[in-house]
Amino acid sequence: MDKDRAVTAGEREDIYRFLSTLCLRPPSDALISMIREGSILSSLGDEGSYIRLFVDQAREASNLKDELESEYTAIFALPSGVLPHESAYVDKNKRLGGRATISVGKFYERAGADILDSSAEMPDHLGMELEFMGFLCGIERELWEKERVALQKCIEIQKAFLDEHLLKWVYPCCEKIMETATYGFYKAIAHFTIEFMRAEEGHVAELHAEICGVEKGKREWRNDEIQTF
Question: Which residues, listed in sequence order, are joined to residue 125 by a DSSP beta bridge?
Answer: 85
Does pLDDT of 45 surpass 50? Answer: yes
User: Model confidence over 120-161: pLDDT tens digits?
Assistant: 889 999 999 999 999 999 999 999 988 789 999 999 999 999
- Going by pLDDT thresholds of 50, 70 and 90, the confidence category of residue 193 is very high
**Region 186-200 average pLDDT:** 95
Which is nearest to 189 in space by CA: 88, 72, 83? 72
User: Model confidence over 67-125: pLDDT tens digits?
Assistant: 999 999 999 999 888 999 999 999 988 889 999 999 999 999 999 998 887 778 899 99
Which is nearest to 187 in space by CA: 61, 13, 67? 67
Does pLDDT of 214 surpass 60? Answer: no
The reported pLDDT for the residue numbered 130 is 98
Kindly list the distances between the CA atom of residue 156 and the CA atoms of 30, 97, 137, 209, 216, in Å, as whole numbers in the listed order: 35, 26, 12, 10, 15
**Region 171-195 average pLDDT:** 94
199-208: list long-range contacts, CB under 8 Å, 24+ apart.
200/12, 200/133, 200/162, 201/162, 201/167, 203/12, 204/155, 204/158, 204/159, 204/162, 205/159, 207/155, 207/158, 208/155, 208/156, 208/158, 208/159
**Planar angle of CA 55, 58, 59, nearest 5 degrees:** 90
DSSP sequence for 41-75: HHHTT---HHHHHHHHHHTT-SSHHHHHHHHHIII
The reported pLDDT for the residue numbered 215 is 41
Which is nearest to 64 in space by CA: 182, 185, 190, 187? 185
* Range with the poorest average pLDDT among 24-28, 54-58, 89-93, 107-111: 54-58
Residues above pLDDT 90, as percent of the chain: 68
The reported pLDDT for the residue numbered 33 is 92
**Region 16-22 average pLDDT:** 96
Considering the entire predicted model, what is its pTM?
A: 0.90
For 210, other C-beta atoms within 10 Å of its C-beta total: 11
The reported pLDDT for the residue numbered 229 is 54
